[in-house]
Structure 1
Amino acid sequence: MSVDWRANLEKLGLTLPPVSAPQAAYVPAVRSGNHVYVSGQVPIVDGKIAATGKVGAEVTPEEAKAWARTCALSVLAAVDALVGLDNVTRVVKVGGFVASAPGFTGQPEVINGASELFAAVLGEAGTHARSAVGVAELPRGVPVEVEAIVEVAA
């Protein structure tokens, strides 16, 4: 990857967090061929769930967008721990899930927090296909969850 992701993180005032220990029977990321499949990441800060609630009720869309960014940073950390971010050639697909209050329809804007972070850190390689889905509940009551498929060098 020709983009200096470390410098981009520094410009954003961010660092990769430690990879969170799974809270169920899965691993944070798996490589299969030239792809890394990253499990859904939730807003964890300092090893603890940092936010709960439904977007459009207890959580504002702006707060949820910031939490989606936190989730995306955890996605990058999982990729880095498994294969190194220097090996990323493209973020292929992002799945974003938003615990939505009845009538809330701003899921795309919430998940933009993740999409914008991937592009800011990885440049063109961070642009991707995406789904942004409203759901009734997410694990542990979190407002947002982000997963990704990332292509890496052979």
Structure 2
Amino acid sequence: MSGSAGAVEAKLSELGLTLPAVVPPLAAYQPAVRSGVYVYTAGQLPMVEGKLPVTGKVGGEVTPEEAKDLARICALNALAAVKSVAGDLDRIARVVKVVGFVASASDFTGQPAVINGASELLGEVLGEKGVHARSAVGVAVLPLDAPVEIEFQVELVED
């Protein structure tokens, strides 16, 4: 596994972002699993240095703007998980699918705008390779009372 930073990580740096360490699993699962040319990430919470910066429901204790920023953090954590099994983010051929879960107040219906935080980050960092299919789902509660959770399916360039 390569420890060097490639073009994707250079782009992250240019945007003022740093790829975080892989968030350790909260239960019995792996942060990411590779199957052939695909990498599937586990749901990634917006953990920063081992903690959630904000908790609660979007449209309640958490504003949609805060949640969109948290979705960006989830996407960074998911990219770290991809790198942990792919070795290098430059091996990403394309992001195939993003699924975003938003812990929502009962009357909140802006889940797509929240998950745009992750989608827009992928576009900024990966360009056309970051264009993906997506689901944005409102849920009653997420682990640790996180406002947002993101998972990816990524296709890698053949070995």
TM-score, normalised on structure 2? Answer: 0.93
Deviations 1:73-103 (A, max 9, x none): 0011111121120110000000000000011
Tell me what 2:127 maps to: 123
1:44 aligns to what SS in structure 2?
coil
Deviations 1:46-68 (A, max 9, x none): 11222210000000000000000
Residues 1:145 and 2:122 are matched in the alignment: no
Tell me what 2:3 maps to: none
- Equivalenced residues, count: 152
Distance in 2 (CA, whole Å) between partners of 1:50 and 1:103 is 24
Unmatched 5+ residue regions in structure 2? 1-5
Tell me what 1:75 maps to: 78
Distance in 2 (CA, whole Å) between partners of 1:34 and 1:92 is 11
1:6-21 equivalence runs, <5 A: 6-21=9-24
Distance in 2 (CA, whole Å) between partners of 1:79 and 1:40 is 12
Tell me what 1:98 maps to: 102
Tell me what 1:111 maps to: 115
Q: Deviating runs (4+, > 3 A) in structure 1?
A: none
State whether residues 44 and 150 of structure 2, in contact with CA within 8 Å, keep that contact through their aligned partners in structure 1: yes
TM-score, normalised on structure 1? Answer: 0.96
Unmatched 5+ residue regions in structure 1? none
> 1:147 Cα shift?
0.2
2:96 aligns to what SS in structure 1?
strand
State the percentage of identical aligned residues.
64
RMSD of aligned Cα (Å): 1.0
2:98 aligns to what SS in structure 1?
strand
Distance in 2 (CA, whole Å) between partners of 1:8 and 1:127 is 16
